[in-house]
């Protein structure tokens, strides 16, 4: 009888693999991507990308959102028949082992360079503005260590932490926006005419590139759980679309403040316009300075962003190296990441150039164009 019960229990667990406590929901995956995108917008407006800033550039998130919604539709088509597989497995299934591993190596390299840029940016731009006499590498190493420790543990705990931070971030940003909006000069935002169409389209390019990285979240497919209903795919698409709209609104309001408080020309010449907004605004009796809150917010978003990318890196590396335990190689990957963060450029201008002119295009190719190719190959081979 005990054997029968054990067999029955095993059958139930096999028939409901999504009930694993080590899995996270689609909502939690999108919250992790939310932090990755919010952390990323502080790099979108740089001295190198400032040439895209114009009076109507605060509307760029609306334009950038349109192709990303199409991308979400394609991604849902890709995972429709393979919800228990990560993007690593789907790529190998569609392209074969050899070509699949070559493609995965390209994804791994791109993700490593992305994380390296973000880590370098945290150390030099963020910390140097607060502790100018301290070596930026010290704080980069501290952030990296915290992210590695988080990535060595199960992703469920990390996702739950991100959920809590997500609520605080939304409430904090809403409060900051309501207070900062009174410093907006409406003449910096209007009028918007048909002559602004091209500048807005150009300003949407960095955002579209950043948001196309939503494709990389599919590498967490093996640890993502879905509700077992007949409309699972519709629910997944609805959840992804809902949080993508939240991300777009967040970016829209942030851009509205940047261009509204300063102006397009001034914002284009700033390396950290979002930071400068809250550093310059003081509200007596409520917050002596928004700078402190922004520092805390930026530190948490960078930590969650880096942890998110480390989880993705570990999933890709696990497939490439057929490794089973991430604890054995996370510090090695972290060391490689740290070395890359200092090889990508001698100064901020070179790093910004590398991000704006190389990684942006790479993100568009891998994040946006590749899913269409994968879907087409999968359909031809009757896999997807």
Count of CA atoms in the C-beta half-sphere (13 A) of 331? 3
C-beta of residue 331 within 8 angstroms of C-beta of residue 314:
no
The pLDDT value given to residue 17: 32
323 in Cβ contact with 329 (< 8 Å): yes
| Alpha carbons 84 and 208: distance in angstroms, whole number | 28
**Would you give per-residue pLDDT tens digits along the chain (384 residues)?**
444 444 444 443 333 333 344 678 889 999 999 999 887 666 655 544 445 467 788 888 999 999 999 999 999 999 888 878 889 999 999 999 999 999 999 999 999 999 999 898 887 766 666 666 777 778 888 899 999 999 888 888 999 999 999 998 888 888 878 877 888 888 888 888 888 888 888 888 888 999 999 999 999 876 666 555 555 567 888 999 999 999 999 988 888 888 888 877 777 777 677 767 766 665 444 555 566 667 777 788 889 999 999 999 999 998 998 877 766 788 899 999 999 998 988 877 788 888 888 999 999 999 999 999 999 999 998 888
Q: Most distant CA pair in the chain: distance in Å?
A: 79
Q: Which secondary-structure segment (H or E) carries 246?
A: helix 232-261
CA distances from 151 to 274, 330, 350, 367 (A): 28, 8, 29, 23
- Rounded to 5°, angle at Cα 26 from 102 and 204: 70
Q: Please tell me the predicted confidence (pLDDT) of residue 287.
A: 55
State the CB neighbour count (10 A cutoff) for residue 48: 21
Give the integer Cα–Cα distance in Å for 146 and 128.
20
- Give the residue carrying structure tokens 């970016």: 251
CATH assignment of 24-380, given 3.40.140.10, 1.10.240.10, 1.20.1740.10, 1.10.150.120? Answer: 1.20.1740.10
Burial status of residue 148 (CB atoms within 10 A of its CB: 0-12, 13-18, 19 or more) = buried
- Residue 252 and residue 263 in contact, taking contact as beta carbons nearer than 8 Å: no
Both structure tokens of 49: 């990308």
Q: How far is CA 310 from the centre of its chain?
A: 12
Strands (E) across the chain are located at 24-25, 224-225
Among 61, 52, 50, CA closest to 252: 61
CA-angle at 140, arms to 139 and 144, nearest 5°: 115
Which pTM was predicted? 0.86
How far apart CA 315 and CA 306 sit, in angstroms, is: 14
- The residue among 127, 123, 126 whose CA lies nearest residue 140 is 123
């Amino acid at each position: 009888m005990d054997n029968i019960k054990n067999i029955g229990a095993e059958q139930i667990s096999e028939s409901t693999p999504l009930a694993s406590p080590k899995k996270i929901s689609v909502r939690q995956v999108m919250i992790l991507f939310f932090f990755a995108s919010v952390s990323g917008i502080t790099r979108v407006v740089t001295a190198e990308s400032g040439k895209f800033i114009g009076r109507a550039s605060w509307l760029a998130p609306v334009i950038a959102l349109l192709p990303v919604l199409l991308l979400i539709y394609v991604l849902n088509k890709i995972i429709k028949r393979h919800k228990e597989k990560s993007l690593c497995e789907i790529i190998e299934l569609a392209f074969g082992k050899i070509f699949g591993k070559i493609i995965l190596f390209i994804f791994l390299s791109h993700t490593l360079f992305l994380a390296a840029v973000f880590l370098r940016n945290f150390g030099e731009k963020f910390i140097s503005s607060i502790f100018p006499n301290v070596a930026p590498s010290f704080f980069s190493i501290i952030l990296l260590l915290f992210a590695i420790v988080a990535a060595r543990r199960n992703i469920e705990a990390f996702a739950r932490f991100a959920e809590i931070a997500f609520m605080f971030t939304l409430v904090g940003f809403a409060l900051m926006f309501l207070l900062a909006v009174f410093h907006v000069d409406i003449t910096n935002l209007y009028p918007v005419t048909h002559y602004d169409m091209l500048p807005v389209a150009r300003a949407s390019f960095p955002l579209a590139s950043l948001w196309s990285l939503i494709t990389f979240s599919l590498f967490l497919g093996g640890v993502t759980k879905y509700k077992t209903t007949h409309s699972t795919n519709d629910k997944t698409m609805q959840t992804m679309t809902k949080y993508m709209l939240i991300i777009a609104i967040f970016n829209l309001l942030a851009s509205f403040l940047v261009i509204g408080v300063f102006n397009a020309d001034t914002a284009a010449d700033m390396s950290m316009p979002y930071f400068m907004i809250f550093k310059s605004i003081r509200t007596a009796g409520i917050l002596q300075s928004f700078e402190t809150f922004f520092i805390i917010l930026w530190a948490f978003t960078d930590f969650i962003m880096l942890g998110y990318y480390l989880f993705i890196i570990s999933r890709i590396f696990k497939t490439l190296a057929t490794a089973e335990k991430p604890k054995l190689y996370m510090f090695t990957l972290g060391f490689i990441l740290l070395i890359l963060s200092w090889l990508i450029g001698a100064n901020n201008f070179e790093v910004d150039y590398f991000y704006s002119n190389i990684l942006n295009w790479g993100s568009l190719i891998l994040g946006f164009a590749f899913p269409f190719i994968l879907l087409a190959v999968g359909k031809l081979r009757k896999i997807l």
